[in-house]
Each structure stands twice: as structure tokens, then as C-alpha cells.
Chain A
Amino acid sequence: MRRGAGYGARWPYIAALAAITLVFLVPQLWLLSLSLKEKSAVYQYPPRLIPENPTTDNYWFALTRTQIPWYLWNSFKVAFFSTVLTLTVSLPAAYALSRERFRARGPIMAGLLAMQMLSPVVLLVPIYGLIQGMGLVDTHTGLILVYGSLQVPFTIWLMKSFFDSLPPALFDAARVDGAGRWLTFRAIALPLVGPGLAAAAILNLASYWAEFSLALVLLDAQERFTIPVGLFSLQGAYETEWHIVAAASIVGLVPVIGAFVLLQRHFIAGLTAGSVKG
């Protein structure tokens, strides 16, 4: 890169990045600001981004008088086990679909893609009936099974493309060395798609964390609510205490944003994986 030209052209980029950051952060900053306000300042005119008398009372209330900590734990539990379930069943399937040539392969791939196009909202009623029939309404097990299954098609599809990008020579070498299918999968293929696996895991975690409609319908007891349902239930029947909702929301958001900051390198790396190997 030519140093001079690059250097001179830097500040417009910084300005553009700053503008993007600001546009995307304004709603969250406003949420943060609300969470630090007293009730009487919520509807103050003119609206102030920086509260006059910042208070941590709302956080105190959210942590001690609501179940936000429970909801966080529930969401974590459900998202984690659903992701584990999805990956456990999807990985071997994706590997087989990538490596093996068999008659049903084409239709399976098409079917998986078609299933991906389905909305869980569309399926809410039959899924409720099914879970009710299994006696799993209002259990985390039921929710985890449903979540874990719904993302299987997408995850197989994604993971298959990672396996596809591995060089065939590698597998020939493994065969020559006499490694069985399982050993090749475990010792050669899996470690190589590690970054892709991380990306798939993060995508799944994020979508389970934020899922609302299934959790709302399948869970009854508050002690099992996940974060989206829990936050939604903080709204009153006729009136809502926005400053409390805001504080609770921030508490609910911080772990996810924190996790993303920690994991984003792996996520991007995962999605770009295979670029060197082509």
C-alpha cells in the first residue's frame, strides 16, 4: 500500500465509521439514559440524553425485585443446550452430505433448503400440539428440543459448505493411511472447520437468545421465562414503567454484547474461513 495516499485518505473513513457507530448506538444510548433516570425525568421536555440526576435505583430494582437474573440464566441455559443439540446432530449429517455420494443426497439438500424457508411462527400451533402431546409444555426440555431442531436445516447447510471447502487430497491421504470414516471426521475434518463451527455456534446462540414467539407460547411459569419473554412481561397491562424496563433491558443486553465483543474475531474469521484454501 502506498503510505502517503493511504494516510491522507484516512479521516473520511474515520468520520464515516463514527457516523455509523453513532446511528446504530443512539437507540441503545437512549435506553441507557432512560435506565439512569428517575421516573419524573422519563417524559421530561426537552428530552435529555444525559440525565440530570442519574440514579442506579432502577438497576437496583431490576436486580433485586424482578427476576432478570433468572431470565438471564434461563436464556443462557436454553441457548447453550439448544446450540449443543443442533451442532451434535448437524455436524455428522453435514459431513456425510459433503463427503458421500448417495441417491437421496440431492433431494435432502433441496428439502433442507425448503425447510429453512419456513417460519416458526407458521408452525407455532402444530408445535404447541406436539409438545403438549409429549407432556413437555412449560419445560426447558421442550423448548430446547424445538429450538435445536428448527435450526438443524440451516446449520447442516452452513456446515456442509465448510466441509466442502476442505481439500479432497486430505481425505485421500487419510484413506491411504487406513483411517476410518469416524476417525477422519474427528481427527482431520473437525479441527479444520473449527472456525466455521465457531461461526455456526455463534449464529445459533444469537438466534436462540433472541427468540420470542416459541418461548412465549411454550413457557407458562415465570421461573422458566427467557430474557425476551421476561422483558416483555415487565410491561404493565395499562401502563409501563419505562425506566425500569430500560434498566432491565440493559442488564439483559450487556452479556450478549460482551460476548460478541469477545467472540467477534472468531465469528468473522469463521465466516471467512477457507479463504486461503479456496
Chain B
Amino acid sequence: MARRWIRIALLALGLCGTASHAAAQPPLVTPIRVGNPDARMTLSVWAQQDYSHLASRPAIAQVFTDVFTDWAKATPDVNLRVSVMPALEQHKAKLLLAASAGRLPDVASIDSFWMPLFLDNGAVQPLDDYWPASDRQDFLPFTISTLSDPAGHVYGMWHETDCRVLYYRKDLVPQAPRSWAELLDVASRVSREKKISGYLYNAGRWEATVFDHLAMFWAQGGALVDQAGRPVFGEGEHRQRMVNVLAFLRDTIKTGASPRSVLASMDYQQLTSAAAAGDVAMFLGGNWQLADLKTNLAPEEFAKWDVAPIPQRDPATSSTGTGGWIWVVFAKDPERRRAAVEFIRRVEAPANAARISEATGHLPVRRSVYEQFPTFREGWYARFGEIVASGQARPAAAMYPAISTELQLAIGYAVSGDRTPEEAVDTAFTNITQQWNRRSAAAPMRTGFDPLSWIPVLLAVGLTAWLFMPGADPSPRAWLAPAAALTGLFVLYPIFELIRLSFTRATTGQRGAGYTLQSFTDLLGDPNFGPMMVVTCLFVLASVVLQLGLGFGMAYLMDAARRRRVPGGLVARVAVVSAWVVPGVLVGVLWKILLMENRAGLVNYWLTGLGVGPLPLLSSGTLAVISVIAANTWRGCAFSMVLQYAGLQRIPRELHEAADLEGASMWQRLRVVVLPAVAPVIALNGVLITLYTFNTFDLILPLTGGGPARQTEVASLFMYRLAFYDLDAGMAAAAAVVMLLLNVPLIWVATRLASGRPMRRAARVAA
């Protein structure tokens, strides 16, 4: 008890001044700086959050703190500036952007399958100069061969590896299924009889959805790409193999073996959570989840679980996907490169690697670790060891990330039943072939002086300067100049530059692409463009109407309460506004937790209590759109409420009193007294939130990621993905220009309103 109070006191202290206690001995491992503060050389490190001293899991954080302290003590002349990158896709996007802008860090952790992206552009540096062959031989062969070029240079050091396995509950599934048929059979029976999910897996819009299921494709002999890296998964026998996998996944839903909620599974934790809630009999997960399962379950519950190889079409075959993150070095300078390689070698030294793997639950990749530390040869590790023997890594092809993006969608379409497995595979393959052809026939690059690239600059300068042309009254010039300079530079110029980019096939961060109309033709020819626009309009329209309506309702209620001197108005107002100040990303995360589609999800728990649920709130296309609208409305109502509340307060008290005396009904009062006064505010409000809603994607990104399939992918998310996941700046710009053109009528209406009477009144009322 006393300990707790000490902690609370320390916490308060920490709040007051976390920085102030760094007085005497500077600690060697701080969140950002690792090592001696006065070191001669500083290496920048872009780390993966769950593989660093900043991991959210205390055990992992502790191991890395120790490992880094050891390194720092041994290397006083070098220190690190660590930056933890946002999760998975954003991490990749930031690295690619940095690569194209020439701003890469010295050292980074990357997912092994991204390697080709950095090998192709020559960003990643070989490690073998400073990494002796004797030490390399200690690593499992695939970790070296996958990361080597034909000349024998090695470009990365594998952290750890993992494999995918079937987790199953022995009390419900006495014998682990070996084939798809057996799995469907036992899973549908369990879900019928026990009213829980028979079989869960990832089918949301993220990498694991594809990777987890590649084992089922590989075991049939399937291949994604040929020797030259050309995509082949949609041709000949490979097509049929891929169709088989998708058909099996479709059947998991059809037979009732799996709930549709798999479509919203975008985090392995969702599988663990279902297991912890006693809501699932089997799931396809990663070996590292075992540790989590152990912490989340009571010992007697944990004892019910076991693992087996992934069931296959032909029970005689086996395969599993082995992944893992790797260290890479981008530093070109030999001295920095040496320091960087020495750092990662020290972190991955056998004794450290063993401690790290014990904390993370992943599988070591060093032979000596298996030899020296018996833990990794016994019990669960022995089981995983057998399974990983049939493991296969993702192809080291530059097209893989694009293939994965397309297959994520294909799996989404097949599982949701929106497309047949054949259609889904064929669409994915057509899209990927187009991308491959485009990549092979790279757009002409311009080098040297490009006169057209100055047009945006000239336009922005010209338009800004027009304000200051002679002849006009000279007085306001100085007053307008600062604002004109800033908006000219940071708003006008980007707009014109955007229009220029839309006529190129530029890559994000790179300059000098040739001019073409291809971005527009590709965009308008994209079958997803139409549905995306429909979703966007639906999302914007519904959000705006709801926010205006609810905002007005609440404002009216609060105003009425204020006139009647009812207490509690302030509390309600603060509650509503507290939703508005939550950053959009957090709103997305928060609603994702609330809407979780297993029994531990709060909303579904309540819906079940009401006899309605559980509902596929994020995995059914329609419900996901509704969920996204609801979350956005929850956040946005406050703005409308505050504006309209201010508008309502402007209504003279006498008018209300007159209405009281006349005994006016609610409706009469609204029509005669209230609406005429607030109508202009509502108009202004409507225009503003239409704009805000068009821009919203920070909320959708964590909530659904645009899924299931693409059903919640609104225009801003579409553009963001194009620009920062695919680095297709040209096409993103084309999409933006199309959006701008579509916005022109809206802008025109707004301008008309502003120059006419209603808007002027609105502005006055709002003011």
C-alpha cells in the first residue's frame, strides 16, 4: 500500500518536471539519446517500437535498456539518437519518403520483405565489410541468402524470426485438423454447438492477412513471382492455387466456421483477445502470441491451448510463413557504417539475442543460441522448431509489397462474398500486371533544367503581387503583405505545384518527371475510383447532416436549459467538447477498441445484452461505413454545437419571453423565433464542416484502415495511400485535382453566399 502511495507521489513529481532530475550522473539510456552524451559521433536510429528500449511491454523495454547500456559502456565515443517509428505501414512510408528525399537515418529496423524497396534504389549499404563471415555462419542460412545480392554482399541482419501456426483448444477440438475440410467441419460444429467462433484469422486490410495465408498457397506449390520478379500468381496453375485459398477462406464464412468479424482483424492482439475472452476455439496466429496468451489466461485456461501446423488443402503437405524484422544500415561514410554495424552486432550477440527472444517470444535466428540456451530446444520452442522447418519467407521481389496490397483486397472481397474467388484473384492480378508494366516502362525522367517546373512559382508570385499593383489605394498593402506572403508561399504555390504534378508520373519526394496525361487516364480508368467517390459523398453527406442536426438539437437544449437556469449545462458542454479536442487518430483508436467484434468489445457486449448483437460493426461494409460516420459525428458534433449555441445566445431574451407569454408550442417557437436567427449560422457551419469532413482520414486510418476491402476508403485516405504508401505522387495529385474540380461548385456556392446577404448575417451572428 505504502509503495503505491510512493508511486503516486512520484508520478505527480514526474508530471511536474521529468527533465529536472537529470542533474548528477547523466543516464546512459534515455528515451531519445542512448550512450555517452559527449560522444564524438552520433548515429541516428529509426527503431521499431516493440524492438527497442521504448517497447510498450515492460519486459522487452527492460532487456533493451540493459543491452543498450552494455553497448554504451563499451562504446563511449558513439551515441545514438533513437526515433521510434509509427506502426508498420507508416514506418515503411516514412522510410521510403526519407529515401527519396535523401534523409535516411544511419541505422533502421525494417520488415524483412521491404528489403527489395531499398536495395533497388541503392539506399541500403552492405554490412559484410565489418561483419566477419565466421559470425555470419552462425545465422540460419535463409537469413543470409534472402538479404544477399548476387555479388555476395549481405545487406541486413535478421533480428529474430517467427512462424504462423494453428492455435486450438484441446477441450473443444480434441484432434488438430490437418486439412481445410477437417478444419471447416470441426470449426463450424464448435461454433454451432458452443456459440463461439470456431476459427479466427486475419482478413483486415494489412500485411498479415496475406502473409498468414501464403502458407496455404505455397503448400500447393504456388509462387507469387518468377525468377525475374515478375508477378505470376494469376497465371496457369498458380491462379488455381490462389483461387483455392480464397475459396477456402470464403467457405469459412459460408459454413459458419468463422464470423465475418475476421474482416476487421488488423492486429494479432484481436486474436489473442478473443482467446482471452473465451470466444474462440481455433485461430491462425504467430508463435510469439503464445507469451501473450500465457499472460492473458489463467493457468488452467492456458493449459487447454495447443499449437499445430497450419491445415492445408492436402493434409500431406505443410508450410508456414517465416517473417521477421532486420537491421539495415544506410550510413554511407565508412566510419559511421563501421560504428553502425558494430552496434547491431553487439545487440545481436548470442547472449543478448537469447535474452531478447525470451522477452519477445520470437524465435532466435542464431544456431549458437539454440545450442547454448536449452530453453529454445524444449517445450513450446521444440514444437515451433518442427513447424518452422517447413517455413518459407516472402519473395525478395520489389513487387511483393504491391502484390500484398492487392491480395489484401482480394481476400477481403472473397471473404465478404462481394466477389467470387476467381474474380478477386483476376482483378488483383490485372492490377498488379498493370503496375508491373508501368514500372518496367518507367516514365521518361527529365534531367537538368525544367522550365515548366517554374510555372507554379510564377503563378503564385504573380497572383500575390497582383494585390500590390500600382493604381490601387496604397494604404492596405502593408497590412496585407505578411498574410499574402505566407499564403502565397504555403497555400497558393502548393496548389499550382499540385496541378503541375498531376500531369507527371512523379514519385513522392523526387523531382524531374516528364509530362504526361497518364495519371489522369489511370485514375479515371481505375475501377475503384467510382465507388470511392460514392463512399466519400455518403460519408460527407451523412456526417454533415448528423453533425448539424445533433449540434443544433444539443445547442437548443443547452440554450433552453440556460434560460431556465438548469444546472449541468457546463458539464454537458465540456463533455461534448472533450470529444472534439481528442486528436482524430486517437478517436479512431478509441472507437476501434469500443467496437471490437468479440465478446470483450464494449458496444457489442451491450448490444448482446439488448438482444441485438453481436454485430459485425467494422467488418460488414455497410456497418463499417455507419461506424465511421458515427465516430466522426461523435467527434464533430461539438463544433456545430458551440457555433450554434453562440448563435442561439444572440436571440434577444424578449423574443423568447414573448413566445412564453403567447404560449407558443415548441414547433412555433422554433419556426418563428429560433430558426430565422440561426439559419445563417447553420449555413456557415454547414460549409465549414463539409470541408473538415472531406479532409478526415486520420480517424479512419486506425479505425478501419479503409476496409473491409475498400468500403470505407474515402477520397482523402485514397490520396494519402497513393502518395505515401505507393509514393505515386503523380496519381495522388491527379486525384487531388479531380477532387478540387468537384469542389468548385461548392466553393462557388460558398462564395455566392459570402457575398450575399445571408452569409454576411451569418458571419455577424457567428461573430
- B-contacting residues of A (Cβ < 8 Å)? 1-2, 5-6, 9-10, 13-14, 16-18, 20-21, 24-28, 30-31, 34, 39-40, 42-47, 56, 59-61, 63-67, 69-70, 85, 88-90, 92-93, 95-97, 100-104, 106, 108-110, 113-130, 132, 137-138, 145-146, 148-150, 152-153, 156-158, 160-162, 164-165, 181, 196, 206, 209-213, 216-217, 220-223, 227-229, 231-242, 244-245, 249, 252-253, 256-257, 260-261, 264, 267-268, 271-275
12 contacts between A and B (CB under 8 A): A1-B660, A24-B576, A63-B15, A100-B475, A108-B480, A117-B747, A119-B716, A121-B716, A149-B487, A210-B581, A256-B581, A273-B767
A90 to B482, CA, bound (A): 8
Closest to A276 in B: B650
Stretch from B115-123, B135-143, B412-420, B556-564 forming part of the interface with A: B556-564
A236 to B634, CA, bound (A): 26
Given contacts A96-B480, A122-B739, contact A21 B767 (CB under 8 A): no
Given contacts A93-B480, A117-B747, contact A234 B56 (CB under 8 A): yes
Across the interface, do B487 and A231 meet the contact criterion of CB distance under 8 Å? no
CB neighbours of A221 from chain B (8 A)? 32, 44, 81, 83
A201 to B677, CA, bound (A): 26
Q: Interface majority SS on B: helix, strand, loop or mixed? A: helix
For residues 459 through 489 of chain B, which have their beta carbon under 8 Å from a beta carbon of chain A? 466-467, 471-473, 475-476, 478-480, 482-484, 486-487, 489
A274 to B647, CA, bound (A): 11
Closest to B480 in A: A93
- Chain B: minimal CB distance from A208 (Å): 11
Across the interface, do B554 and A129 meet the contact criterion of CB distance under 8 Å? no
Across the interface, do B561 and A17 meet the contact criterion of CB distance under 8 Å? yes
Given contacts A100-B475, A212-B584, A213-B698, contact A239 B14 (CB under 8 A): no
- Proximity bits, B556-593, A CB within 8 Å = 1, else 0: 01101101111111111111111111111110011101
- The yes or no answer to B758 lying at the interface (CB within 8 A) is no
Across the interface, do A46 and B599 meet the contact criterion of CB distance under 8 Å? yes
Stretch from B95-103, B340-348, B385-393, B433-441 forming part of the interface with A: B95-103
Across the interface, do A161 and B476 meet the contact criterion of CB distance under 8 Å? no
CB neighbours of A274 from chain B (8 A)? 764, 767
- Chain A: minimal CB distance from B55 (Å): 8
- The yes or no answer to B672 lying at the interface (CB within 8 A) is no
Given contacts A96-B476, A249-B586, A275-B650, contact A30 B575 (CB under 8 A): no
Across the interface, do A130 and B575 meet the contact criterion of CB distance under 8 Å? no
Across the interface, do B566 and A13 meet the contact criterion of CB distance under 8 Å? yes
Please pick, from B82, B277, B490, B716, the residue contacting A145 in the complex, using a CB distance under 8 A: B490
Q: 10 closest Cβ contacts across the A-B interface?
A: A271-B646, A149-B490, A161-B763, A241-B56, A96-B479, A43-B273, A126-B494, A228-B583, A126-B497, A93-B483
- Chain B: minimal CB distance from A102 (Å): 4
- Chain A: minimal CB distance from B200 (Å): 13
Across the interface, do B268 and A238 meet the contact criterion of CB distance under 8 Å? yes
Across the interface, do B84 and A125 meet the contact criterion of CB distance under 8 Å? no
- The yes or no answer to B524 lying at the interface (CB within 8 A) is no
CB neighbours of B22 from chain A (8 A)? none
- Chain B: minimal CB distance from A40 (Å): 5
Given contacts A10-B564, A212-B583, A231-B583, contact A236 B49 (CB under 8 A): yes
- The yes or no answer to B664 lying at the interface (CB within 8 A) is no
A88 to B557, CA, bound (A): 37
Closest to B748 in A: A114
- The yes or no answer to B235 lying at the interface (CB within 8 A) is no
Across the interface, do B269 and A239 meet the contact criterion of CB distance under 8 Å? yes
Across the interface, do B590 and A43 meet the contact criterion of CB distance under 8 Å? no
- Chain B: minimal CB distance from A186 (Å): 12
Across the interface, do B86 and A92 meet the contact criterion of CB distance under 8 Å? no
Please pick, from B84, B276, B557, the residue contacting A13 in the complex, using a CB distance under 8 A: B557
The listed residue with most B CB atoms (<10 A of its CB), out of A24, A130, A164, A229, is: A24
- The yes or no answer to B187 lying at the interface (CB within 8 A) is no
Across the interface, do B643 and A39 meet the contact criterion of CB distance under 8 Å? no
Across the interface, do A212 and B698 meet the contact criterion of CB distance under 8 Å? yes
Please pick, from B88, B278, B590, B694, the residue contacting A45 in the complex, using a CB distance under 8 A: B278
A227 to B488, CA, bound (A): 29
A164 to B11, CA, bound (A): 49
- The yes or no answer to B527 lying at the interface (CB within 8 A) is no
Across the interface, do B567 and A14 meet the contact criterion of CB distance under 8 Å? yes
Across the interface, do B86 and A232 meet the contact criterion of CB distance under 8 Å? yes
Given contacts A220-B94, A260-B581, contact A237 B88 (CB under 8 A): yes
Across the interface, do A244 and B56 meet the contact criterion of CB distance under 8 Å? yes
